[in-house]
Every structure is written in C-alpha cells, then in structure tokens.
A and B are shown apart, each in its own frame.
Chain A
Amino acid sequence: MNLEVDLGGIRLANPVVMASGTFGYGFGYEGLLNPNEVGAVITKATTREPWAGNPPPRIAETPCGMLNAIGLENPGIEVFLSKYLPRLRSSGAVVIVNIAGRALKEYVELASIIDKATGVAGIEINISCPNVELGGMQLGTAPRMVSEIVKAVKEETNLPVMPKLSPNVTDIVGIATAAECAGADAISMINTLQGMAVDIETKRPVLGNIFGGLSGPAIKPVALRMVYQVYRAVDIPILGGGGIMSAKDAIEFFLVGASAVSVGTGTFVNPRLAMEVKAGIEDYMERHGHTGLDEIIGAAVL
C-alpha cells in the first residue's frame, strides 16, 4: 500500500501533517511523537521580529472544542532559523514553515529569507489567524488581498507555497480560486472559527483578547463542508483539517477532497494521534481494497 502523496510539490511519505501552532518546532512531544514519523511538520507561525503574543487567559474550553487566542507568540525568524530549524532538518522531518506578518512587506521578507535557508520543503502562508489586530485573518478575507500576498510570496521563492485559509469568510470558494489563480501550489484549510466565551460570574469575556479561534471536533462539519466546496472549484491539492480526532475523521477529509490531512488540537488530547490516524488510514484502505490515496481523495464529492 502506498501512502505517499504530493502536496503541490511537497513530497510526503504519509499524508498526516502536524498543524501549525500545535506541535511547536517538532520536539515538544519528543519520545512520544517524533517529527520524522509524520508526513510533515508545519512549524509554529514565524514572524519577521519576535512577537510577545496576547495577554492571558489565552485558552478556554468549549463543548467539543477549545478557543485559543495565543496571538502568534514567536521568537522571530532569526531565532527560528538558528535555534529550531537545524535540529528539525537533521531529524529528517519534512518541514513546512508557517509565516505571518502585519503587512505584505513582512510576508515578502520572510519568504525571501526562508528561500535561502536549507531544509525547508514549503511555506504555509498564515492569512487566517483570528487573534491578531493586523495581518492574519484581515489579509485572508478578501480575494484580492489573498491573491496579492500569494503572488508576492511566489515571486520570492521557488518553494511550494500554500496559503492557510480562514473559515471566517462569506465565500471560501472565491478565496481559494483567487489563491489558485495567483499561483498557490496547494491550499491549507481550515484555520480556526472566530468565537468567544463569557464568564457569567465576573461578567467579563474569558479570553484576554476577548475573541479567540475555535478548534477541535466542534468545527469538523464546517471544515468538511468547506474542503468539499473548494475541491470542486480548484485543481491544486488541499491539506484538509479541522477537528480531526481519529482515523475516521481523517478519512472523511480525504473523501471530500483533501490530499493530506492536518491534525492539531487532537494532539493535545492524544499525543500519539497522528500515528494512530496513519495506522487507521492503512487499515481502512486495506479493508476497502485501495492501493493508493488517489483512490479515496474526493470519492464522496458528488
């Protein structure tokens, strides 16, 4: 059985990818889940300069989900390249670097810097973080803006480029097709759904940032619907995810058109989830007599 997949020029030995912001720089779960076991590691969002992130509380649990408002805390690209990338590279992991910024210029600079680094397989453009004032989601909710960013990043690098889309839009298909027309090699979806939580005793919002991004099993139906719609509209591969907690969930994403799947919040609950998903996909394919992922990708799209 062949679990290999080509994600817009990024060769993955298996289709299970660690979502940005849920696996640090690959070694947070060392010993339990190593970065070279999974299809690829998408690193925590990197910005040009260090970002301190949002004031606490940064997380709140919700029914079948959680809200986070981390605010893209990270040490900046220089520290990422000197401290984290070398170790990740030497582990043999497929590394996709998630980049974020407050303006187009920062994405361009980051793409140019990462293009010169060794050991990076691709770039995920974060235009979907709901928890920062400037940049993030604001750049990913208008097709024209998405197109501009993807084009600008593509001009700086020959690496495969994959925008991560926000579900907080009126028309996900319009955003995805704009990204494809601008030259995106693949599409990553979905980021978190914007939400909030309220403490009725203090009569205040729970999160320091007031609003946060909802993830976990609660958002899976939304993510499936959006992957389904985008799969019908674009020809580039989709990295699909949102609330994957089991192999069954992951298979649903393949069936609606994802070429690979990302696990995120589920890893917090079960650190071995990615490997259990991979094994479960193999079982499923064997049971159904499939020899390659292409036989199930989009199979449920009518």
Chain B
Amino acid sequence: MFFLENAEIVENDRVGDGLYELKCRAPQIAGKGEPGQFVHVEIKPHQDASASPLLRRPFSLYGTDAERGMISILYRIRGVGTSLLAEVGPGEYLSVLGPLGKGFTLSGAGSAVLLVGGGMGIAPLAYLADRLLESGCGVNVLYGAETARELVALEKLEQSGARCHVATMDGSRGHKGLVTDLLARMPAEKAADMIYSCGPSEMMAHVAQFAKERGIPGEVSLESNMACGVGVCLGCAVRLKAGDRDYAKVCSDGPVFPIDQVEFEAGEGGRK
C-alpha cells in the first residue's frame, strides 16, 4: 500500500557541501513508512515541465514523524534532478509517491546490532537506528565519509543514543581511511546479532564478507536508477548472484536484500 501525496516542503536545508536534508508534509506516507523503504519524488521545481527531468527520483526515507505527518530524505547533488531539487523552498510542493519497496527486517534483530554506512548510505540506517533504539536494541554504527563535513547524520545518530564509530578518508574526524577498516576492531566474539549496511558497493562487499566470516545475519540496501518505482517496468533489474537466472527488481523485491543473497563485485553497476 502506497500513496501519492502533494507534499508541502517544510525545510530543504543545505547540511554539508552539496548535501541537503528535505522535510515535507506527507501524512499518509509518514504514517506508513518503515526504515529501508523509499519515496519516488517528482522533480518539478518551476512548473516548467520541459526544464525538469522526466522521471521521478528515488530516495530512501531518512525519517518519518507520523504525529506531525512529516517525512525526510537526505541527498547529495549528483545531477540535474538533485540540482533542481535543491532549489525548491519551504511552501513549495512536490509530488511524492511512497512508501515503496521492502524495508529492513526489524523483528529478530536481537539485542545488539551493527550498522555500517558510507556517504548517503547513512540515510536509511539513521532511520533504522531510531526504530531499533526505540525497541531497546543496542546500536553500534560504523559511519564513513570523505571528510568530517560530510558526516551529516552523526549528530542525529548520537542524539538518538547510537554508539558511533567514524572514519573519514582525509582523517578530519575519527579513523583515517575506510569505514570497513573499523570492522577489524569489532570484538571477535558477539560483534553483533545482526548487521545492516548501505553505501558504496565495495564497502558493502567488505561488510558481507565480515558477516559471512562471523556468521552474523544481515541486510543491505541497494540502489538503482528507476522509472516506475513500483515493480511494473522492470527497469531496475539487478542480478544478485552471478549464477542466478532471474533478475531481482531493486524497487519491489528490495531495495533491502539479505546480505548473503547478494554477490558484490567491485565495479559492476547497480550494486552499490
């Protein structure tokens, strides 16, 4: 069950270099959305359809507030769509379709979970952390970015009570290097009952390997370009494992998949 809402923008703030957090009023989506699900947003900032990209853009939910009827997304300017999205201001409206896709499995997460996020991949994980902490789960987060200024979800994560371990490529905060370097520092026994990850393909490949070695179940959130977002066009196909005959659809079979069902190959499109 999903909804099409004409959502009033409440905030669309620059939170880092080329990074934005958008909050809008979409009460039906807010009431139904779950961590790992996404919204499909029409980019039409100036009522001039010909100047806007044709297709909607998918964004993982960064948070929902059912009481206030608000949802939020986190995004980086990467192309025409996100550039135009950054121009919309409070009081303007965007057509938002959602909540879409299969989110993270919340039940059975156990008492201690490990979240591993890189870049914008932190968005669905920060939302997930909120939910898990509410249910009394202990949450460790390994959070990586290029530089400290891009750790835009860190404050939210720390405020909600997650234990955060940070890595930046330039060393401006936390460990200097890859976020997956931090995996080696996890205790050998009982690192976590469950692992959730979202970020670059190479990062998730390491996380999947770690989960396999430690025998910890987990889930990853994949991304893909999409047309419909609801499973009818079959455009966001991804072959999860090299030998699979069939293609999974990121929008409707995912975007969240069991970590052991995905074979990550560095450099292959669609699995990042």
A interface residues (Cβ-Cβ under 8 A, vs B): 21-24, 28-29, 31-32, 44, 52-62, 64-66, 68, 70, 73, 216-217, 245, 265, 267-272
Contact = CB atoms under 8 A, between A and B. Distances in A.
Contacts of B247: 52-53, 56, 73
- Among B224, B228, B232, B236, the one with the most A-chain Cβ atoms within 10 Å of its Cβ is B232
A21 B233 contact: yes
Contacts of B236: 56, 58-59
Give chain B's interface secondary structure class.
loop
A268 B56 contact: yes
Q: Contact size class for B?
A: 20 to 34
Nearest to A245: B49
Nearest to A65: B54
Nearest to B244: A52
A28 B231 contact: yes
Contacts of B50: 64
A270 B95 contact: yes
Given A52-B245, A73-B247, A271-B97, A22 B235 contact: no
Interface of B: 1-4, 42, 49-50, 53-56, 95, 97, 224-239, 245-247, 269-270
A62 B225 CA distance: 13
Given A57-B269, A269-B42, A31 B239 contact: no
A70 B237 CA distance: 9
Contacts of B238: 56
A245 B232 CA distance: 18
Contact of A60 (B95, B225, B228, B246): B225
Contacts of B56: 268-269
Contact of B227 (A62, A66, A270): A66
B225 A73 contact: no
A66 B57 CA distance: 13
Contacts of B245: 52
A23 B185 CA distance: 49
B269 to A, nearest CB: 6
B232 A23 contact: yes
